[in-house]
Structure 1
Amino acid sequence: MDADALSRENAHLKARLTEVEAALVEVQEANRRLEGILRASQRERFGKSSEKLSPDQFNLPLEDAELAQGVLAAAQEKAEAALAQTRGEEPRKPARNRGHLPAHLPRVERVIEPASIQCPCGCGEMARIGEDISERLDVIPAQFQVLVTRRPRYACRRCSQAVVQAHAPEHVVPGGLPTERLIAWIIVSKFGDHLPFYRQAGIFERQGLHLDRGTLGNWTGRACFHLMPVIDHMKAHLRSADRIFVDETRAPVLDPGRKATKSGYFWAVVSDDRGHGGVGPPIVLFHYAPGRGREHPLKFLAGYRGRFLQCDAYQSYNALTEITRDEGPWQLVNCWTHVRRRFVKRFESEGSPIAEEMLRQIALLYQIEKTVRGQAPADRLAVRSAQAAPIIAALKPWLGTQLSRIPQKSLLAEDIRYTLAHWPGLIRFLDDG
């Protein structure tokens, strides 16, 4: 090898070394960034109370850490590829994500052919012997369009007396800009994706559409008005349902003037009979209330004709068992999940054998329910009477015996008393399929 060739090879190796060193620097920088985010997260999570973040704010550094992990992974892949090329090795192929994308998504195929399929030996065109397939998730960005509606007019050229034209369709906003599909998109963005109107207005602005949040709110309000018959129809179904489920969830609400938020509550009323072979549609209605006192369920459940109300052990629901109705007072159905959650905590924190046995008994009840899910009510009731009822009959005295043997001020005793206090609602499932 002559001097020029050695010089070229030396320059090539130096370039490769520089490339590898740069890739390693990127890896080290990404790693330092990730470590810094994790240290900040630990300080905000476990530090002094004045330094801690709220639960909502704590998600932000977690997202930063996930982003930093992505940067680190990309830097490592680049460094590994540079090192492999320096050693004359083939870069490691990335792991394929095949078969994990939903089947209902449309597939758009592209075929990448080699620059030439002629055999290097001069034998002619090569034959296709297989292919590699990969799938990646793509998106078509939202694109606004203008819907132009033309309504031709027709007249008779002979008599010139008759003129016909199709009636103009009715719209949520008469004479306004939006189509009903656009309004539905705004509503889903607002209430489903929690995207405020002012942020949506910014999205429109990027497309040259000057729509302020007041306009978007007006359109949404009009749509809500026209949706009232649908809501009334859903409410009629719920009012006639024999069994409903009710639960309340806290929601922070802006409190103008205080520059803060206050607590409001969304009360969900649900009917879903699919678990026992019902053919009615599953329905969920939400009621907003400024609190979670007993007056709120009494108000929005007025006129309901059901018998069973599935709920948690919140005391406000007890008021429903005291009201006078033609159908009789509501019968509360309490949830075994809330009971199980208590004993899971006790077993994990204390290793209590009593909690472990209680979890085992609840698992048996769950297994029985799994075998009858979707069957007719009469069949479900028969299986419950034959298999679940003996477990329930033995479980209550067993709990009473265990309660007498443990310290009465212990958390386990509190959990057992909670279970026994709601026993009528917990075993209600034995009376109805």
Structure 2
Amino acid sequence: METALENLSKEDLIKVISSRDEKIEHLTQERDHLKSQVEMLRRMQFGQKRERFEGDPNQTELPFEAGPADIEQQQEEIKEKIEYVRKRPNHKGRAKLPEHLPVEEIEIHPEGDLSEMVCIGKEITEELECEPAKFYIKRYIRYKYAAKNGEGVKIGELPERVIDKGIPGAGLLAMILTGKYQDHLPLYRQKQIFARENIQIPSSTIEGWTKQGLEKLEPLYEQLVYETKTKGYLQVDETRIRVLDSDKKGAAHTGWYWVYHAPLDGTVLFDYSPSRGSSAPLPMLGNFKGYLQSDGYAVYEKYGKKKEVIHLACWAHARREFEKALDNDRPRAEKALLMIQELYKIERRTKEEQLSADRIKELRLEKSLPVINEMGKWIFEEIKSTLPKSQIGKAMAYAYARWDALSAYLYDGSLHIDNNPCENALRPIALGRKNYLFAGSHEAAQRSAMIYSFFAICKKHEVNPFQWLKYTLENIMSINHKNLKDLYPQNFKKSADL
């Protein structure tokens, strides 16, 4: 090899050395990239998230039966435990009972002859109690009256029913829908609850009720869609949902829920699409004008570049990228995280002091802007000497490419520093996926989007979802279309507070 190099000209020798250096640089980058991936996997395995269960190979099998001595010892321990619980030592006080609940009073007098005694007082002890769901039959008895002259007959008018000629009332439908979409109880589990009360209802019937109950909400949902399109500030995110594909028997399709959160009004809209492509949010964002806040997904970048749109990025996503880099380059990752932490300290202050939008803007320009400028200059200098494929390089590149969008929340005090409120609205979807696994069809997924929208609004405005849904199902068919918005959860709360 040395002889071959000696025969090369100076120019060729320089090319060989340059080529070798490039290969070494490439291999070094690959090594650092793979090393960071290994560190990340270790962090996922041994960090705070402990979803994985790794069995102990040294653990012996559990015994099938306990010996007489063990049984006697266990019974003695149980007896001691019962005595301990009964005495309740070191009791630190009791939780305050809710004042709005009805009270059932039970008077207890001493046993024996009290005729020669005088009552000198009483002691009151309270406990919180409940009854299981109460099922009952609501029977409408409509009386008929005939005119004495034989000219006509009158009968009491039957109230508007949610499902015409169906047996479920609004309360039962509200319970089923709240159970599935708020408490994540699949319908088959609810069927088991009915069975425990000796109420036998076929699965197909419950599924039909669910579909018909959701369909009643379509006018209200369409109104919500219309109003969401007119908002001037939207946060947007998306999450997957498995949907049974009608074209392929037994196959599941990955569909997507797109969620649009209007922070100024506290409204949330879920929309289903079979696709995650750029055309999916077109019905909502095609004519959108205003502030659009999102993560770094390329589809949002496309809509954010429109002339009438100011695109806001999410500092929470930028922070996550630097958190991933802690095992790759701790000093620089910590430096970035400390600066981001300063930005969030300022945001906490705005909430604690309940500042107005104008005052928030002033505070951000005074306190946040210098931090952002310092961080921007630091990233600009550091990224030049950072390996692009390293995790710290990716974190810097993520923030650097979106710097204007990350700084845009300074424009108005009503804007948020991150997209977290929108992400929070998606959490019920993740919980639902673990329980009912998939939607039965694309149409069923869209119907689910309707109820997810309204339950998310209920949560934001601290409205009881069951009470709202029961009231809405009872009134949506008879309400004047001009007053349809009165059925929004936030308006239901206002009327309930009056």
Interval of TM-score (by shorter of Structure 1 and Structure 2): 0.5 to 0.7
Identify if the C-alpha distance between structure 1 residues 428 and 235 changes in structure 2 by more than 3 Å, giving closer, same or farther. same
Gaps of 5+ in 1: 1-41, 52-74, 119-123, 274-279
Partner of 1:183: 173
Give the CA deviation at 1:380: 2.3
- Indicate whether 1:379 and 2:368 are aligned: no
CA distance in structure 1 between the partners assigned to 2:105 and 2:90 by the alignment? 20
Report the counterpart of residue 366 of structure 1 in structure 2: 344
CA distance in 2, matches of 1:180, 1:379: 46
Residue among 384, 388, 406 paired with 1:426: 406
**1:228 maps to 2:218:** yes
Q: Is the aligned partner of 1:316 residue 2:326?
A: no
- 1:313 CA drift (Å): 0.7
TM-score (ref. length: structure 2)? 0.59
Count of residues in correspondence between the two structures: 345
Q: 1: distance between equivalents of 2:359 and 2:321?
A: 31
5 Å-filtered alignment, 1:31-430, equals 45-46=53-54, 79=77, 81-82=79-80, 93=88, 96=91, 98-100=93-95, 103=98, 106=101, 108=103, 135=127, 138-155=129-146, 157=148, 159=149, 161=151, 163-255=153-245, 259=250, 261-273=252-264, 280=265, 282-303=266-287, 305-322=288-305, 328-347=307-326, 349=327, 352-373=330-351, 375-430=355-410
8 Å CA contact 1:81–1:92 kept in 2: the answer is no
Hey, what's the Cα distance between the residues in 1 that align with 2:54 and 2:355?
49
Conservation of the 8 A alpha-carbon contact between 1:98 and 1:135: no
Q: Is the 8 A contact 1:344 1:359 kept in 2?
A: yes
**CA deviation after TM superposition for structure 1 residue 427, in Å:** 0.7
1:355 deviation in Å? 2.3
Q: For residues 218 and 155 of structure 1, what CA distance do their matches in structure 2 show? A: 39
Deviation at 1:241, TM superposition (A): 0.9
8 Å CA contact 2:229, 2:284 repeated in 1:
no
Query: For the structure 1 residues 430 and 213, does the alpha-carbon distance in structure 2 shift closer, same or farther, using more than 3 Å as the test?
Result: same
Single out whichever of 368-377 and 387-396 deviates more from structure 2. Answer: 368-377
Output one character per residue of 1:57-82: Cα deviation in whole Å (capped at 9) or x when no partner. xxxxxxxxxxxxxxxxxx98961754
Indicate conservation of the 8 Å contact 2:324/2:391, yes or no: no
The one-letter amino acid paired with 1:147 is K
Q: Percent identity?
A: 27
The SS at the match of 1:313 is coil
Q: What is the root-mean-square deviation in Å for CA atoms of aligned residues?
A: 3.9
SS where residue 280 of structure 2 aligns? Answer: helix
Cα–Cα, structure 1 residues 331 and 185, in superposed 2: closer, same or farther, change >3 Å? Answer: same
Residue by residue over 1:108-127, the C-alpha shift from the partner in whole angstroms, topping out at 9 and shown as x without a partner, is: 56779697699xxxxx9997
Q: Is the contact between residue 308 and residue 330 of structure 1 (CA under 8 Å) also seen in structure 2?
A: yes
